[in-house]
A and B are shown apart, each in its own frame.
Chain A
Amino acid sequence: MARARSLSLAAAAACAASLSAGAAQANPPDTYGFGSRETAMGGAASATTRGFAATYYNPAALARSRGLELSIGYFRADHHMQINGADTGVDPVKGLNGGLVVPGTLFGMPFAFGIALHLPDDRISRVRALRQEQPRWEMYDNRNQRLFLAACLAIEPVPWLQIGGGLSFMSSTRGRLDITGRANVFRADDSELRHEVDADLTAIRYPHAGVRVALSDSAALAAVYRGEFQLGLDLSARLAGSISDLTTALFVLETSSVNNFLPQQIVLGGEWKPHRDVTTTFDATWIQWSAYVPPVARLDVALDIPPPDGGWPPTVTPPEVPAPTRVEPLRMRDRLVPRFGVEWRAVHARTADVFARGGYEIFVSPIEAQSGLTNYIDRSRHTVSLGAGVALRDLARELPGTVTLDAHGQLGQLVTSTTRKTSAADLVGDYTAGGRFIAFGLQLGVVFDPPGRAK
């Protein structure tokens, strides 16, 4: 039995690793966690997660649910990122977290469907294509400003095994601006210009899958794969027409960039209960940062303005075609991120349980020293989290099940260090950078299931 479980786990991990479709530490959940219980446990949750949060941590764990589960909560992370002692004003990440799990049976086999959502309340998604020289907190400035939406299925073919998978959704942006007509540079009001705008938000999906093996009542292992995705931004503009009947102008601009890239991840984790009221967890997440595509726009410009009859007046300097950008590669290294968590059931009564939780994560920055032209600033980070939860059973006749209320607080402390530039003619120069983020969240859930039936 133990050998069969080990083989199943290895096979599932191999299958997960071989999936080629493909992104990571820039979902907001990657950085700040998802769901108060799991976040409070340091994100070390692949083997211990359940409910709506399983759609992110391990879709297989959805099959642990036996009753309809609804959850909603709020989350906020405030950044205090400093460069040379000055706060650079990195925007907070905040919004609703929630989801539902609908369990059932399929051919006599436990089955569950889950959907989860992180809905930012500032912006659904943000597009930024900065100059590659401009300093920015690459891991915190823009990448986490986006929606997270995932839908998953899971089955439990045998009581000790859960398998699950699903898709996450995002959209790329394609846009076109077309202006034609006649421009009067002497009387702008007499210009006759027609413009057309054509923009598409095209859906992209990336997979994630997982497996959970219960080795015993007190131990479980898990493996999770999260795919890679690239959030593209393609814009084009075309301007054509005559300028005061003196000459004609044709300007064509095409720009293409990857606004958000999430590398693929593989998570191996475990859960062990040394005592019936204590759960300890561990996750190791491998992230393929070496495949990262920097968010720099590639610009292609064509400009054709023939000189008017008699040539250009001496006071007029005709515009020149801008030079293309020489994109400097961003070198990143694959990383293994360890996470640890613990949960203590401090109170266990007939109608209520009370939990205390803690967790720790160390994230070694994958970005190599920015000693050259580019300034993708990042620092290694220690994240400590604490939380508490209460599960209330049979609270009211209208709520026939368990009501859970979980809260967490999180401190991500970035190590302060100094970047030294190789070139003394660098316009940014040396800088010292460091900082922290502070996050908190609250999650309310209802499990429409008599206590004791959920696994």
Chain B
Amino acid sequence: MTSKDKDRTPHSSSASPKGEGSESDVHVLGDEIRPGPAVSSLATKAAGVAVLGLGASVVLGMLENDGFRRFSYAYLTAYMWGLAIGLGALFWVTLQHLVNAKWSIVLRRVGEILAGTAPVLGVLALPIVIPAFLGHDILYPWANHDRVHADHLLHHKAPYLNPTFFLIRFVVYFAFFTLLGRFFLKQSLAQDKSGGVEIAKRMQRVAGPAMILFGLALTFCAIDLLMSLEPSWFSTIFGVYYFASCVLAANSCLALAAMWLHKQGRLTRSITVEHLHDLGKMMFAFTVFWAYIGFSQFMLIWYANVPEETFWYKERFAGDWATVSTALLVLHFVVPFFGMLSRHVKRHKKALAFWAFWSLAVVYLDMYWLVMPAFGAEGLPFGPIEIGALVGIAGAVMAAAAFGARKVKNLIPVKDPRLPASLAFENI
């Protein structure tokens, strides 16, 4: 027998937490699964970073003296990046229940905590939503009553794109995201106490209809917050395009969160390289999926060559934006495609962490590419305002997740009946 042997025998039920109290489960797992003080300290630190970053961005935005226009665009870019993480995690949790996934059980609580950031993200959206509701067209031209009346197209779109309906939709989306996230987390925590298959089945039953509603909510949310920046442009695939970024960002965050917990001495035995490998596969898959969807959107518009659609790309293929477009193609697809292709990369912690950070960075680049051309400035506006907003949003999402993690007792669902299968999971 060599030292390389893990000697994990099949059908091993020694790790199965059957029927006993949760204290003994912890013992059986032989793993540290409590959040611990590191999570608390992360929560306060991240909250501090959030306040500092957003505060700096607001102050600098005020100094621009343009009625917070530059700040609003910078903030929207960063916000859509943060929202991608939260919504991607919510999708991820729903998906695991929907398909009755076994491999991911050890990661599910982390996913549930990330998905639980939805209410905080809802509050963070207020600086975007409130001005639009009050009729200011800092971001959205359709919010301005006079502009709508002067523009034939906007006038036609007004029954959908108007401040009141926008606010109603926003409330509906985030109420749904919040309730869904809370439902999964609460049921999962209840299962920690009582155990049993029933709760798992209930969550699976809810996951089906929830997935349909989630798809609709995410699509319209992306259309409202991003696509309506240039309201005369339209692309029916736009929701899926944003969805690709959501899943990529969420899987990257899950991998990073798992590795951070390992560093804190948490879940070191439960989450193995096999689970990280699978997260890496998802990151790779959704890097390709993003390119697939992005190109699908581009090709139809390019081929049809209709001016009311092509202008959106024309903005992005002119001047400095052409550089950003090319960089997006190379950095968001070509480089990570070959970078994450190998199995060894996905099974190597440091390499996977590198690509997770990389993926999060290019998702931000993508958001920048979606939002900023509508700002209409000469050159590429990127400076302390944008960085402050990004750092602030990243801190806020991290703080929201860490505060959420502090409230739970265990970082894995200890009584899920599929836990043994997840612990023994192996990629061939």
| A and B form one complex | no
Using CB atoms and an 8 Å cutoff, list the residues of chain B in contact with chain A: none
